[in-house]
Amino acid sequence: MNTHKKHGFWHRYFFSLDHKDIGFQYMLTIFFMVSIGGFFAYVFRMHLAFPDMKVPLFGLVTNKDYNMLITNHGLIMMMWLALGMLLAVAGNFLIPIMIGTDDMAFPKLNKISYWIFLLSVILMIASFFMPKGGLGVGWTLYPPLSVGDFGYNTPYKSFADRFFTANTFVLLAIAFEFTSLLMGGINFFVTTLNKRAKGMSLLKMPMVVWMINIANLLFMFSVGPLVAGTFMLLLDINVGTGFYDAYRGGDPLLWEHLFWFFGHPEVYVILLPPLGILAEIISVNSRKPLFGYKFILTLTLIAAVLSTMVWAHHQFVAGIDPRAATVFSIFTIIISLPFAGIILAYIATLWKGDLRFTLPMKWALGAVALFTLLGGFTGLHLGASVFDIYAHDTSFVVAHFHYTLFPTVIFGSFAAIYFWFSKFSGRKLNQTLGNLHFWLTFIFFNGFAFPLFLLGLAGQHRRIADYRQFEFLMQDPLPLYRKIATISAVILILSQFIFLFNFIWSLKRGKKETEDNPWQANTLEWQTSSPPPHGNFKVYPVVNYGPYEYNRPDKDKDFTPQNEI
Amino acid sequence: MKIFPENASSYGGEVDFIFWLITGVVAVASVIVIFLLLYPVLTRRRKLTKTQRYQKGEGFRNLRLIYLGILLLAIADFFFLYKEGPTWTKIEETLPDKEFHVAIIGRQWLWEIVYPGPDGKLYTADDVKKINQFYMPVNSVVHMDIQSYDVIHSVFIPNARFKQDALPGRNITRWVKMTKTGTFPLSCAEICGIGHANMKATIIVQNKEDFKKTLTKLYKK
Ligand code: HEM
Ligand SMILES: [Cu+2]
Ligand SMILES: [Cu+2]
């Protein structure tokens, strides 16, 4: 067992092998990325509501700027925030300590994963500054548009001409990021399989550890085709091959298949870790065992398998055989069933519980409500291929996926941060600021996303810089909806500064966490000091109980730590 | 307050019906979910009793209400699929006999509408081309050959509830039958570059006589 030594700045942020430090490095990097993604959202949202305005801190937004802003907003949020936060950060912080071990199985590999992640971030940022400007083709990168400024019609001048483009850099950034996540994922697997504390059978693992690993499995399964697809796209751009060029035997639809074969499972890769986080928080704050542990696990595995068979619901009207669309429609609608089961199991955990409305619990309940009521249910609308003919590529879809992604990625991450902050930092976040942050985010997220449903139903297509050219989209009350969405989005984004301040201030000056187990939780991370020592535990725990043994009839106190004798 | 733009096609009503059907069922389901969430939230705040709280949810008996929920949703799901199937087949998989035929070709950043010339056949030397102006006769089945010269575009006619991507190297034939005369917007729903936001055409639906006159005018030019 390691003794805790004080290390300097460079050590902690660049060379540390400790999983908690590496998790922290990932987290800071992602905070940086998400502030860019959020800033872009602010700029283009302002432009939509007030098209003639010079957006403060940016200036006048041209069509070219607009395309660039939404594309990079989408890419950053999906690839770097969502995947990074929920696989890399959550996996790093939680897996080793929750399974009762000192570190990852391969700490050096872990460190290299982070460095490659950092490289991908650098490439991504560099792409904004290429001679022809940032990428503006939509985050789905559909060729032929993504092959160059004008698809295949631009004459091929020189290699440098093609290489130093945002197209190349973004694709390289994605490729490196996936490499990093794959290396991280392998590490998580081996760690989970080989390093669990004595007595921790697979079915005694906390749900979040399961979920991160299942998400990783799904990621590994689905990412291969996209990496191949990315490579072909890179060749099309840089060498002049024609894999996606219809006039030279290629097919642009091929990219759509490869992209969504990854892209749809990706949304479940993103969804599962927060579902795991919610399971922990809901169970602890209901003082009840998680209802249907094995049931949830089974449903998750079923959903993971199903999620690989629904990708073409993004392509109902993309030119695929309409008979195939029927099959994908059926699978898409069926995938609602396992998730309904999981959500109902969470709700059952609340029933007859003894609820504590702590901050993490608020985020968790908010996430469950919004995800189910407005994210999940509108998925049924879109899964019905007939309605998707109309709704595809309108703001209805934008509203739908923000209602699935925001509650899981953002609410889920905040739930986790408010839950585990004091464990890993040894200091408490300010509760008043936390409450303010929660309510502002909750209200103004709805204020921003809900009008988009109505705009979409009115026929507003997405990725449009200026709706004034479409008379039918300028009729009352649509401009008003756009303004409501924008003003809410601005307040939503500003509210995050409350969090940022709280986070930084509490890290340095927050009240000291005096207890090891302030929530009276069962899982192993709460059975060591806050913050944990370098090797996580002074004495390695031996597990005797499952993770959710709250209110066991044979115990006096209402919780039973996993390592209790 | 109207939710959808005015419907002006023969099948648009069925698309709207699917939306309202799903919305109706979902509204009922939402009420149930809201109750299930709010009830414990409102009544179980720090009840420090120890009654019946150690439930692990194992075995069919304990999970029976959840299975019931899944079953109900499954019934709703299959009902949606059952209801929408025929409409999908009608719009996407079948082509009723055509009364008029055009090609609509996307290019950065405009729509070319190609009308058959006096011989009544498309893809012959006498075809006429119009930019961003799509004339069609009312109450007639119009076949559209959807194509693209360069990148992917998407033909979106909100008033017809119709959308289809236009891909380079492919010809995708779909149909529409407008039931009202007037002008309707046609936008491009797939990002296609800097001019994507400006890419729009006008659909002018005319009664059959006016439409004939329009065609003759087109041929003269
Ligand atoms: C800060 C709050 C956010 C605001 C105000 C916001 C706003 C928007 C808006 C208005 C669009 C549509 C742009 C258009 O089609 O014209 C958009 C696109 C998108 N957003 Fe967000 N968003 C936010 C957070 C997020 C988060 C957290 C995620 C994912 C985790 C996300 C993922 C996406 C994606 C993938 C797109 C599609 C980009 C594309 O069309 O290529 N957004 N966002
Ligand atoms: Cu999908
Ligand atoms: Cu377009």
SS3 readout for A284-332: HHHCCCCCCHHHHHHHHHHHHHHHCCCHHHHCCCCCCCHHHHHHHHHHH
CA dist., res. A361 & res. A363, Å (int): 5
Residues whose CB falls within 8 Å of the CB of residue A436, separated by 6 or more in sequence, listed in order: A495, A498
Are B117 and B81 contained in the same domain? no
Residue of A283, A294, A63, A272 lying closest to A185 (CA atoms): A272
**Chain segment B15-51, per-residue pLDDT in tens:** 999 999 999 999 999 999 999 999 999 988 876 665 5
Asked whether the predicted pLDDT for residue B116 surpasses 70, the reply is yes
Same domain, yes or no: B124 and B172: yes
Assess if residue B119 is contained within a domain. yes
Find the closest chain A residue to B22 by CA distance.
Answer: A381
B190 and B208 in a single domain? The answer is yes
How high is the pLDDT of residue A155?
65
> Of B93, B117, B145, which one is at a domain's C-terminal end?
B93
Q: What does the pLDDT read at residue A1?
A: 38
- ipTM, 2 decimals? 0.96
What is the rounded average pLDDT of the residues B140-148?
A: 97
The Cα–Cα gap between A408 and A273 comes to: 9
| Alpha carbon distance A80, B118 (integer Å) | 57
Quote the pLDDT of residue B49. 60
Nearest to A332 by CA among A410, A388, A390, A254: A388
CA neighbor of A384 nearest in space, from B178, B71, B53, B79: B79
β-pairing, B142-148 vs B172-176, is: antiparallel
Residue whose pair of structure tokens reads 């003794």 in the numeric block: A3
* Lookup: tokens for B131: 């930019």
- Indicate whether B120 belongs to any domain: yes
Q: Tokens 């499995």 — which residue?
A: A217
CA gap A528, A383 in Å, rounded: 46
> Are B208 and B112 found together in one domain?
yes
Instruction: Based on the fold, state whether residues B104 and B212 are members of the same structural domain.
Output: yes
pLDDT score recorded for residue A4: 47
- The token pair that represents A553 in the structure block: 């009839």
> Which residues make beta-bridge pairs with B135?
B204
Q: Are residues B188 and B89 in the same domain?
A: no
Residue B28 lies in a domain: yes
Q: What does pTM read for this prediction?
A: 0.95
Tell me the shortest Cα–Cα distance from B220 to chain A, in angstroms: 31
Query: Does A469 sit within 8 Å of B40, measured CB to CB?
Result: no
In chain B, what residues touch A465 (CB-CB under 8 Å)?
Answer: 196-197
Among residues A474, A277, A461, which one has the least CA distance to residue A360? Answer: A277
> What secondary structure letter does DSSP report for B150?
S
CA B210/CA B214 separation, integer angstroms:
6
pLDDT at B221 > cutoff 80: no
Regarding whether B215 and B106 lie in a shared domain, the answer is: yes
- Spell out the SS3 assignment of A475-492: CCCHHHHHHHHHHHHHHH
Ranges in chain A, pLDDT < 50: 1-4
Structural domain count of chain B: 2
pLDDT at A153: 55
Shared domain check, B160 and B67:
no
* End residue of a domain, out of B44, B59, B93: B93
Strands B153-157 and B162-166: antiparallel
Taking the CA of A464 as reference, the closest ligand is 1
- Separation between Cα atoms, residue B205 and residue B157, nearest integer Å: 13
Residue nearest to atom 16 of ligand 1 (CA): A463
Alpha-carbon distance A21 to A5, whole Å? 13
Predicted pLDDT at A162: 86
Average pLDDT, chain A: 93
For A47-87, the pLDDT digits (tens) are 999 999 999 999 999 999 999 999 999 999 999 999 999 99
CATH of domain A19-527: 1.20.210.10
Q: Is residue B5 part of a domain?
A: no
The pocket around ligand 1, CB under 6 angstroms, is made up of: A 38, 41, 45, 70-71, 73-74, 77-78, 81-82, 138-139, 398, 402, 405-406, 409-410, 448, 462-463, 489, 492-493
Question: B81 and B109 in one domain?
Answer: no
Backbone φ and ψ for B104, nearest 5 degrees, come out as: -125, 115
Q: Does A357 touch chain B (CB under 8 A)?
A: yes
A532 in Cβ contact with A102 (< 8 Å) = no
Q: Does residue B178 share a domain with residue B113? A: yes
Query: Do the domain assignments include residue B4?
Result: no
| Within a domain: B137 | yes
pLDDT value at residue A74: 97
Whether B104 and B88 share a structural domain:
no
Residue A132 is predicted with a pLDDT of 86
User: What is the tens place of the pLDDT at every residue in A199-210?
Assistant: 999 999 999 999
* Domain that includes residue B135, residue range: 100-220
The closest of A198, A94, A201 to A540, measured between CA atoms, is A198
Residue B3 located in a structural domain: no
Cβ(A370)–Cβ(A406) under 8 Å? yes
CA distance A554 to A542: 20
Handedness of CA A512, A517, A520, A521 (dihedral sign): positive
By C-alpha distance, the chain A residue nearest B56 is A291
CB crowding A491-524: b at 16 or more within 10 Å, else e: bbbebbebbeebbeebeeebeebeeebebebbbb
Contact A251 B4 (CB under 8 A): no
Q: What CATH number is associated with residue B198? A: 2.60.40.420
- The beta-carbon neighbor of A551 closest among B53, B165, B170 is B53
Is B42:A277 a contact under the CB 8 Å cutoff?
Answer: no
pLDDT of residue A419: 97
Q: Tokens representing B85? A: 């199937």
Report whether A172 contacts A295 (CB < 8 A): no
Residue A248 pLDDT: 87
Out of B44, B76, B93, a domain closes at B93
Whether residues B82 and B109 fall in one domain: no
The pLDDT assigned to A151 comes to 56
Question: Using an 8 Å Cβ cutoff, are B138 and B178 in contact?
Answer: yes
Given this model, what pLDDT does residue A412 score?
97
One DSSP character per residue, A48-81 reads: HHSTTS-BTTTBPPPHHHHHHHHHHHHHIIIIII
